[in-house]
Structure 1
Amino acid sequence: MTVEAPPAPAAAVPYGLLMPATVHFDDLDALGLMHNSRYPLLVERAWAAFWERHGVRFDGDWAAAGDACNAVKELRITYEAPVARAGAYAVHLWLERLGRTGLTYGFRVCSPDGTVTYARGSRVLVRLDAETLRPTPWTESFRAVARELLPPAV
């Protein structure tokens, strides 16, 4: 049995964060290309790893989830180049908008150094109250971490 080494830290990007990602053999379709449904999965895993570093984690308890109690309102993705092999990649993450109860984040599935883009898109999330499932404001601690991912003002 071989143990896979953790991915090396990703290179710097001008804004947001570049998170290491691994494409596995079973992410590829019959043609040897990464299946279109796997791109959002890589992005989701990158976001989960980012937020877990900051103590935001969902373990199935909606009442205790806090800011992790949220729902996807919209997902847009454009595929620019095929991922044609398993191995090391990265996901570039940033916030496009941070509202009172929602946010929009941008992403790119890219090469480990961020120079080649395979897919890009955005996702809108809405924070939910665990009891009513109605929109509720993000906590200030969540907002403070999220602001780190906003691009510099133009």
Structure 2
Amino acid sequence: MTAEAPVAPALSYGRLIPVAVHFDDLDALGLLHNARYPLLVERAWSELWQGHGFRFEGDWAAAGDACNAVKELRISYEAPVTRPGAYAVHLWLERLGRTGLTYGFRFCSADGAMTYAQGSRVLVRLDSATLRPAPWSEEFRAAGRELLRPAG
């Protein structure tokens, strides 16, 4: 971990979703526990997708695009979070395939200026009956295209 978090460029793609770090998210050293970063990112994604009408309500057969599984998670911790409070997760899509996607994320200050951790996650859409890859719906793909990071 570096002493200072890198400064992020102005947010020109993706979405910045507010999240809260609570006292009990900190470890014995007073740092945000490493396992909490992916949890907070997951909560931010859930909020974003629910805003588009995609949610899991307990029935995998009815879940549609919410029936998916993580294939890969990569995270790099850039600077420690040392206190509870308001933060944000910057979310975007790197790739939107037929049955999978790769999203990028930054765990950052509430205004998006400071990056504490960053990474990516690969998801695969599943058929609820077979648990085999299945295509995303066109409605999901349309919402996803709005989140694609511009090339370059």
Letter in 2 for 1:71: A
**Counterpart Cα distance in 2 of 1:80 and 1:152:** 24
Matched, 1:58 2:56: yes
Q: 1:34 aligns with which of 6, 27, 32?
A: 32
Moved over 3 A (4+): none
Matched, 1:112 2:86: no
Matched, 1:90 2:88: yes
After TM superposition, the structure 1 = structure 2 runs for residues 1-154 of structure 1, keeping only pairs within 5 Å, are: 13-154=11-152
The DSSP-based 3-state class of the residue aligned with 1:39 is helix
Letter in 1 for 2:62: A
Q: Which runs of 5+ in 1 are unaligned?
A: 1-11
Corresponding residue for residue 6 of structure 2: none
Letter in 1 for 2:91: L
The DSSP-based 3-state class of the residue aligned with 2:16 is strand
User: Cα deviations across residues 121-147 of structure 1 (Å, max 9, x unaligned)?
Assistant: 000000000000000000000000011
Normalising by the residue count of structure 2, what TM-score does the alignment of the two structures yield? 0.92
User: Cα deviations across residues 31-68 of structure 1 (Å, max 9, x unaligned)?
Assistant: 11000000000100000000011110001210000000
The DSSP-based 3-state class of the residue aligned with 2:142 is helix
Corresponding residue for residue 4 of structure 2: none
Letter in 2 for 1:92: H
**Counterpart Cα distance in 2 of 1:27 and 1:112:** 17
**Structure with more contact order per residue of length (Cα contacts < 8 Å, sep ≥ 6):** 2
Number of equivalent positions: 143
Return the offset for 1:153. 3.5
Q: Which runs of 5+ in 2 are unaligned?
A: 1-9
